[in-house]
Structure 1
Amino acid sequence: MTSITYRHADVDGFKVFYREAGRPGAPKLLLLHGFPSSSHMFRDLIPELAERFHIVAPDLPGFGQSDMPSRDSFAYTFDNIAHVIERFTEVIGFDRFAVYVFDYGAPTGFRLAVSHPERITAIVSQNGNAYEEGLSDGWNPIRAYWQDASPANREALRALLTHETTVWQYTHGVPDAASVSPDGYSLDDFYLSRPGADEVQLDLFRDYRNNVALYPTFQQYFRTHQPPLLAVWGQHDPFFLPAGAEAFKRDIPGAVVRFFDTGHFALETHATEIAAAISEFLVR
């Protein structure tokens, strides 16, 4: 039951890589990773949950082992990423599912929920933001690029794609950095170093402004449909503040919010604890 298989799906000619575990027929759980990661970030979580759920974790377009077509043939926007992942769920037969969203996975998953609310059985948000108060000052260089898409502002964001920054994302806010395996950030660094990957990520930095513009739409979905929602949050995240987790309760009074003494990549240090919280929440 806990064995993981590694597959590719043909999504209208787009190759999407995904990890799959659990028993077909069990409650479905879709795991959506963030920047600059891949489904590899779920390597510790999946075995913890596979006895109870049918789990699928795709690599987003342009990330990991999924296709990264040229920017001439595929516009790297979150609308397009969400469209590919929505079609992916249809291709593999994920008709009704709970969704785990993290970082970039949040605007992707929330778009799926807005588009097809009847398909979403629950939401687990792990540092997956939908409120402006959840955005820290760490977004200021990216905000500058939203306001002025100059070559200088674009070039300034290359600092966010370096090995040092990726390591910092994994270790900032973690009480003991030695508890963070180098495997995750080393693999992310490998994918970021591929030819053209830097320009893809800079395009997505620019497009992220459209996610913020959709926050009111996401919040209206929460208020209207009241999906069961669990927020499991690394409380020392330098990008997504605890206020973003608490804000879910404004629109979903029954939302459950849990904080963990760790940073942005909370699964690197608290996969077992987060898995236990997810199991308790989703089974209930």
Structure 2
Amino acid sequence: MQISTVEIEGLSIAIREAGPPEAPAFLLLHGWPQSSYAFERVISRLAADYRVVAPDLPCIGGSQGMPRAGDKRTLARLMRGVAEACGLRHLVVAGHDVGGQIVFALLRDHPEILSGAVIMDVVIPGVAPWEKVIRNPRIWHFAFHAVPALPETLVSGHQSAYFDFFFNVLSKDGASIADDAREIYARAYSRSESLQAGFGWYRAFPEDAEANAKWAGKPIAVPVLYLRGAAEPGEIGDYVDGLRPAGLSKVVGDIIADSGHFVADENPEALAIRLARFHREISAASSEPTGRRA
């Protein structure tokens, strides 16, 4: 595995990459409060057959430079730049948590670069069951992270303790997220601008919801897989059923066993197997004669 950087719109984006340069590709997008390291063990399992690139989102970890905003349209455009800079072909983009919200924006704004997409363990702003989720008192951090300046003030210097709360509460077994991984994630947000960038993703939710609502119902033909950890609260059917009227006509859902919210950390083998299977299914469907497709 190689760690390098690409320059996109004046930002330096750190990437982990592995696999044959001309192979079908995955672009893996992490969420909060993680970095590209979340996919370390997934990448190693996919790299024999696929080109795999996992960036640190702008201003997180090894990525330098603050994007102009945290809205998912802006981040999707930057991730399209990463895909193009890396020359990714037959691309499936897979995003976890906030990364999954970026995947939805890519589907909405840049479907032409995608062969398929995977959204993992996240609700999409403005898309059912969004209203139900944001009313849930267990999701208190959505509102807290959106408060201007206060989260940075309180979390700065306490990243490890704060992030540990979420790793322990949202995973099936907190021990599945190793101490060294937790340390890497805390360091990824150790700079004040990194915390600001991460909380900025939450502050942009109203803008994201408005953009998604304006798009609602317009068809998106890209095949989409929605994944959820078996121990993640909520019914997967609510999420898949919400995505269909939002335009995803080819969306299916599946469960990753022995996992809560942090599927890449908790069960990387099962996740890698399911991602590879999805890529194979897309390739097989695209190679069928038009008259034979369902």
TM-score range, shorter chain: 0.7 to 0.9
Q: How does 1:110-259 map to 2 (within 5 A)?
A: 110-130=104-124, 131-134=127-130, 135=133, 137=136, 138-140=138-140, 142-143=142-143, 155=150, 162-216=159-213, 219-221=216-218, 224-237=219-232, 242=236, 243-248=238-243, 252=248, 254-259=250-255
Give, in whole Å, the separation in 1 of the partners of 2:73 and 2:177. Answer: 32
Report the aligned-residue RMSD: 2.8
- More displaced, 252-261 or 274-283? 252-261
Alignment partner of 1:274 is 2:278: no
Normalising to structure 2: TM-score of the pair? Answer: 0.79
Q: How does 1:31-180 map to 2 (within 5 A)?
A: 31-69=28-66, 74-94=68-88, 96-130=90-124, 131-134=127-130, 135=133, 137=136, 138-140=138-140, 142-143=142-143, 155=150, 162-180=159-177
Give, in whole Å, the separation in 2 of the partners of 1:29 and 1:217. Answer: 29
| Partner residue, 2:292 | none
Relative to 1, partners in 2 of residues 1:182 and 1:246: Cα closer, same or farther, differing over 3 Å? Answer: farther
Task: Report percent identity of matched pairs.
Answer: 22
Q: Work out whether residues 142 and 157 of structure 1, in 8 Å CA contact, stay in contact via their aligned partners in 2.
A: no
Give, in whole Å, the separation in 2 of the partners of 1:184 and 1:190. Answer: 10
* Count, aligned residues: 270
Amino acid paired to 2:128: E
Give, in whole Å, the separation in 2 of the partners of 1:273 and 1:253. Answer: 26
Give, in whole Å, the separation in 2 of the partners of 1:170 and 1:245. Answer: 25
- More displaced, 116-125 or 245-254? 245-254
Query: Unaligned 5+ residue runs, structure 2?
Result: 282-294
User: Once the two structures are superposed, what CA deviation does each residue of 1:131-169 show, in whole Å capped at 9, x if it has no partner?
Assistant: 3315352444534776xx6x6xx5268667743331122
User: Once the two structures are superposed, what CA deviation does each residue of 1:59-92 show, in whole Å capped at 9, x if it has no partner?
Assistant: 11111111134x8xx4444333223222222222
| Partner residue, 2:13 | 16
Give, in whole Å, the separation in 2 of the partners of 1:163 and 1:37. Answer: 12
Task: Give the alignment partner of residue 22 of structure 2, picking from 22, 25, 36.
Answer: 25
Normalising to structure 1: TM-score of the pair? Answer: 0.82
- More displaced, 249-258 or 186-195? 249-258
User: Once the two structures are superposed, what CA deviation does each residue of 1:20-77 show, in whole Å capped at 9, x if it has no partner?
Assistant: 11112211111111112111110010111112211111111111111134x8xx4444
User: Once the two structures are superposed, what CA deviation does each residue of 1:232-280 show, in whole Å capped at 9, x if it has no partner?
Assistant: 2124446x76332453356546533112342221111111111111222
Give, in whole Å, the separation in 2 of the partners of 1:254 and 1:200. Answer: 32
Give, in whole Å, the separation in 2 of the partners of 1:128 and 1:141. Answer: 14
Relative to 1, partners in 2 of residues 1:76 and 1:253: Cα closer, same or farther, differing over 3 Å? Answer: closer
Relative to 1, partners in 2 of residues 1:175 and 1:33: Cα closer, same or farther, differing over 3 Å? Answer: closer
Amino acid paired to 2:226: A
User: Once the two structures are superposed, what CA deviation does each residue of 1:103-141 show, in whole Å capped at 9, x if it has no partner?
Assistant: 111232222222221211111111143233153524445
Deviation of 1:283 after TM superposition, in Å, equals 0.4
Give, in whole Å, the separation in 2 of the partners of 1:141 and 1:179. Answer: 23
Amino acid paired to 1:90: E
Give, in whole Å, the separation in 2 of the partners of 1:175 and 1:282. Answer: 27
